[in-house]
């Protein structure tokens, strides 16, 4: 039970840090700065603030997955170094 509570706190900390960093990136970078991807049908503008926001959230999701995987492996008796 202690590991489950510790895992829940780790996931909560990772997600809160991910959201804080993502919101900070979104607030600091201007919406007008970005890259434009062109194609035959038109162009797609991606602002750096949106790229940074989604990158931070993807990183939080990745770390959460790794923490859960490690906890599952520990429950099954496997050691991860």
Q: Which residues does 75 contact at the CB level (< 8 Å), separation at least 6? A: 3
Structure confidence at residue 6 (pLDDT): 78
What whole-number distance in Å separates Cα of residue 55 and Cα of residue 53?
5
Structure confidence at residue 80 (pLDDT): 57
Structure confidence at residue 78 (pLDDT): 62
For the full predicted model, state whether its pTM sits above 0.85: no
Q: Domain residue spans in the chain? A: 43-81
- The helix (run of H) or strand (run of E) holding residue 36 is strand 34-38
Q: Average pLDDT across each block of 10 residues of the chain; the chain has 81 residues. List them in order.
A: 72 79 76 77 77 77 79 71 56
Q: Residue written as tokens 């990772």?
A: 14
């Amino acid at each position: 039970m202690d590991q489950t509570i510790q895992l829940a706190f780790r996931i909560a900390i990772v997600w809160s840090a991910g959201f804080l960093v993502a919101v900070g990136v979104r607030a600091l970078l201007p919406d007008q700065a970005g890259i434009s991807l062109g194609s035959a049908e038109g162009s797609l503008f991606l602002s750096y603030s949106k790229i940074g926001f989604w990158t931070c959230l993807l990183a939080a999701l990745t770390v959460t997955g790794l923490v859960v995987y490690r906890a599952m492996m520990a429950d099954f008796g496997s050691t991860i170094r």
